[in-house]
Amino acid sequence: MSSTVRVSQEERSRAMRARLMDATIDCLVEHGFGGTSSTLISERAGVSRGAQLHHFPTKNDLVVAAVTHLTEVRGAELAAAAAAVPAAHRTRDVLRMLGDHFASPVFIAALELWVAARTEPALLAAVEPLEQKVGRETHRMTVELLGADESRPGVRELVQATLDLVRGLGLAATISDDTRRRNRILDQWARTLDGALT
Amino acid sequence: MSSTVRVSQEERSRAMRARLMDATIDCLVEHGFGGTSSTLISERAGVSRGAQLHHFPTKNDLVVAAVTHLTEVRGAELAAAAAAVPAAHRTRDVLRMLGDHFASPVFIAALELWVAARTEPALLAAVEPLEQKVGRETHRMTVELLGADESRPGVRELVQATLDLVRGLGLAATISDDTRRRNRILDQWARTLDGALT
DNA sequence: CAACAAACAGACAGGCTTGACTGTTTGTTT
DNA sequence: AAACAAACAGTCAAGCCTGTCTGTTTGTTG
């Protein structure tokens, strides 16, 4: 009477890998890179240690896979948030949207990987190219959202500055989350930016 | 014939503690927080493990002491850099000075501690108040260097934005150090800031 | 259904880290 | 100088982390 549903190996494998990668990102957010041991990940994912090692022979394999996975999640979240920005108060709301993204768990996970990658060559090799890709996409998206004309001198730099600003705000938010402060700063920058872009 | 100079206990103790704290910061820069083991620190400092444990019973004691020490070093370096800013091209050079500081080893060490503190309560308790203090002092110093009038609406937020920007640039610099890009952005920011502050 | 391969489970060994502990040297105090 | 305390040195055990290994289950193929 075992009503066990038959699941294909490919399906099982994909699901298992996804669970492990998600658990890895969760652990990064909750315990930081240093506190993210492979044992902890397998427990969090509800996966036996043997299964984990079967899909990802080394911890580095898992982390690198999680980096790729995280990049996709970040891209998707950003795109969704961008689509939800209202038309009125364009600049202000675009900046707030960016500010929110750079204070979200996915950013925190990316931050942990970023900082760890600085002193781990194997991680850096995986993080650097993906980060550049996300950076370029985010830049392009921001230019489009703001309707900025990059052919005018200084405009490109101002968009870059805006993105580095929200990155800095996101870093500050990891220790003391002060949303009101962040929004005040972003609102003022929105006014200044509007003046400089037109 | 042992021409051993007699050194007071207090002096020896202070020197030993200083060597250990400096070595801790060096290790943070070179190996990251995760790669900074107490054994590594004692080797780097040229101090026996026993002596290390005598001065700092636990690793946490050492790291917390290093945080305090690092804060002092950061303050001193910033003050020295501030004093060296030329009078001409004021805004531009002030921003470049800040940009350089937030890309220096002391900032990297602080970044490692900052990120680690997010998931380590004992560290956070030491880092948070000191970071706020440094933040306030840096803000005050920047206002003074720029000759900004904070009584005017928006000025305070623009100075805060400037500091969060250099923090974001510093974070980006840890992976791909692109000084030219940074200076282009800061120069443009300086022009925009000058327009907004006057 | 038989044979095979992939997926899964859990035990185990080697290496590293931390802090406790014992012993020695050096400075201070009386 | 004797007695004491602080500074210094090095060893050791407990615990965790990683990755290897053996064995079991489940799906696939002929």
* CA/C1' separation A47–C1 (Å): 32
Q: Which two tokens stand for residue B72?
A: 């002092």
Q: Which two tokens stand for residue B188?
A: 């443009």
Chain A positions in Cβ-Cβ contact with residue B195 (cut-off 8 Å): 195-196
pLDDT values of chain A reduced to their tens digit, one per residue, 198 residues: 334 567 888 899 999 999 999 999 999 999 999 999 999 999 999 999 999 999 999 999 999 999 999 999 999 999 999 999 998 889 999 999 999 999 999 999 999 999 999 999 999 999 999 999 999 999 999 999 999 999 999 999 999 999 999 999 999 999 988 999 999 999 999 999 999 998
The Cα A77–Cα A150 span in angstroms is: 25
Measuring alpha carbon to C1', the residue closest to nucleotide C10 is A50
Burial of B27-36, coded b for 16+ CB within 10 Å and e otherwise, reads bbbebbbbeb
Measuring alpha carbon to C1', the residue closest to nucleotide C9 is A50
Nearest to A185 among B120, B161, B191 (CB): B161
Among B149, B156, B170, B135, which residue's Cα sits nearest to residue A192? B156
CA distance to A51, B86, B109, per residue, from B124 (Å): 36, 37, 15
* CA/C1' separation B37–C24 (Å): 26
Q: Who contacts B169 (Cβ-Cβ below 8 Å, separation ≥6)? A: A164, A168, B99, B102, B103, B182, B185, B186
The segments of chain B whose pLDDT lies below 70 read 1-5
Smallest Cα distance from B19 to chain A, Å: 23
The nucleotide minimizing the C1' distance to residue B14's CA is D7
Measuring alpha carbon to C1', the residue closest to nucleotide C28 is B9
| pLDDT value at residue B2 | 37
The Cα B189–Cα B152 span in angstroms is: 19
The Cα A43–Cα B49 span in angstroms is: 35
Which alpha helices (H) appear in chain A, and where do they start and end?
Answer: 9-31, 38-45, 49-55, 59-83, 90-101, 105-118, 121-146, 155-175, 179-197
The Cα A196–Cα B165 span in angstroms is: 17
Strand (E) or helix (H) holding B135 = helix B121-146
- The per-residue pLDDT for range B14-57, each reduced to its tens digit, is 999 999 999 999 999 999 999 999 999 999 999 999 999 999 99
Mutation target to probe the A interface, by most A beta carbons within 10 A, among B165, B178, B191, B198 is: B165
| pLDDT value at residue A16 | 97
| pLDDT value at residue B51 | 98
Burial of B138-159, coded b for 16+ CB within 10 Å and e otherwise, reads bbebbeebbebeeeeebbbbbb
* CA/C1' separation B41–C22 (Å): 23
Smallest Cα distance from B86 to chain A, Å: 24
Among A31, A62, A41, A39, which residue's Cα sits nearest to residue A126? A62
Tally the residues of chain A: 198
Residue where the block lists tokens 């995760």: B34
Which chain C positions have some atom within 7 A of a protein CB? 6-12, 16-23, 26-28
| pLDDT value at residue B7 | 81
The Cα A141–Cα A82 span in angstroms is: 8
Mutation target to probe the A interface, by most A beta carbons within 10 A, among B119, B150, B177 is: B119
Please say whether the beta carbons of A96 and A85 come within 8 A.
no
3-state SS of chain B: helix, strand, coil percent to 5?
80, 0, 20
Among A127, A122, A112, which residue's Cα sits nearest to residue A33? A112
Q: Which two tokens stand for residue A2?
A: 């075992």
Nearest to A158 among B116, B172, B188 (CB): B188
| pLDDT value at residue B198 | 85
Task: Tell me whether residues A132 and B181 touch, CB distance under 8 A.
Answer: no
Smallest Cα distance from B3 to chain A, Å: 44
CA distance to B27, B47, B57, B59, B64, per residue, from B20 (Å): 10, 8, 13, 11, 12
The Cα B150–Cα B157 span in angstroms is: 9
DSSP designation for B36: -
The Cα A177–Cα A181 span in angstroms is: 9
Q: What is the largest CA-CA distance in chain B?
A: 73
Please say whether the beta carbons of A44 and A88 come within 8 A.
no
The Cα B81–Cα B79 span in angstroms is: 5
* CA/C1' separation B162–D20 (Å): 53
Which chain D positions have some atom within 7 A of a protein CB? 6-12, 16-23, 26-28
| pLDDT value at residue A4 | 57
Please say whether the beta carbons of A171 and B113 come within 8 A.
no
